[in-house]
Every structure is written in structure tokens, then in C-alpha cells.
Amino acid sequence: MSRIIGCRDLHIAKLVADPVGGEPVYEKPVRVPSLINISISDTVEQSKFYSDDTIEQSFNKTSGKEVNIELGYITNELEALITGNEIDENGVLIQSSDNAPIEVALLFRAPKSKDGAFRYLCLYRGTLSRTESEFNTQEDSVESSTVSLTGTFIPLLSNGQISATADSDDEETAEAIASWFTTVYGATMQDA
């Protein structure tokens, strides 16, 4: 059994279409550099059914995933792509209350402790936002600031899928992971 020992190669792909009963369509994934860490928590709804004054049945259902990402830096172009903010004709990032977040797929991989293997992950449909910016004055030592992105990922309308996971040390996944960062697994890619 291998342990997860890191994270790398974060990519996002803009969700172009997600028709009910159809197939999701994405733009080509774009690399997001300087990934420091990523945390993913399932949003679980618990249902209980009672009869005869006792719990007859209980089950959990995953309704989405909460995501927190820490980056070393982010360019204005990537922030615009991720958050829906716009870059004006002078190259300046403009944040407006009218800008709507863009739905994206999130793709990355995590090294495993055995044999150079990786776990590949894809979250299919969510929005990210930059919720905090911190700037510190230089003192005796230089401290750098990081960028935090938070978001919620929900099921696709087309097929109800939330995420996909593949391990490179599983021979059956070789074909799927070969194009993990050039396409979104199980989806159609928009023509360039």
C-alpha cells in the first residue's frame, strides 16, 4: 500500500456546456503553476428513516466537495480565467460585482510513496474564488505571501458525476492517465 506524499501539476479546464442527458464539453486544460497544497472535503448529507420509534435505515449521500487551494502566486490571466474577473485593454485585472465565476474542472496528481506512482484526480464542475489577499511589509527577514482559492464542486448535470480518481500503479488506468492533463476524463473537448 502506497501513501500520498505530495501534490503537483494543477490544471483547470473551463466547462463550456453541461447539457442534461448529454455529454459535458470543456476547453483544453490550462496549467496553474506554484501549487503548495490542496484540500478536498466531501459534503455529505445524512438521511435517517424512522419507524416504530427507532431508526429503521440511515444512509449518507455525497452532494459535492469543498476545495481549498494554496498557490505560491497567480498571474492576472489565470485569476481572470478562474474567477471570472476581466482584464481590460491595458492588461489590468478588474474585479466587478457583475462578474460571474466560471465553472471549471480541476485536475492534478499526487505522488505516491511506492515505485514512482501517482494518484490522478479530477473534480468535474465547480467555481473557485480568491477570498483573501495579504501583503506584509519587509522586516528583518523576507516573508512571502501565498494565494488562497476556495470553491465548491458539484455534480455534473449531464451525468451526476462529481469526481474521478485513477492510480498509475493500476494497469487498467494507463490509457485514462495518458491524456489526463490534455483532456478532461470522460468528456468532450471543445475544438480550438
> Is 1's pLDDT higher than 70?
no
- Is residue 36's pLDDT more than 90? yes
pLDDT in tens, 78-131: 999 888 889 999 999 998 888 888 999 999 999 999 888 999 999 999 999 887
Q: What is the mean pLDDT of residues 131-155?
A: 79
- SS3 assignment for 11-74: EEEEEEECCCCCCCEECCCEECCCEEEEEEEEEEEEEEEEECCEEEEEEEEEEEEEEEEEECCC
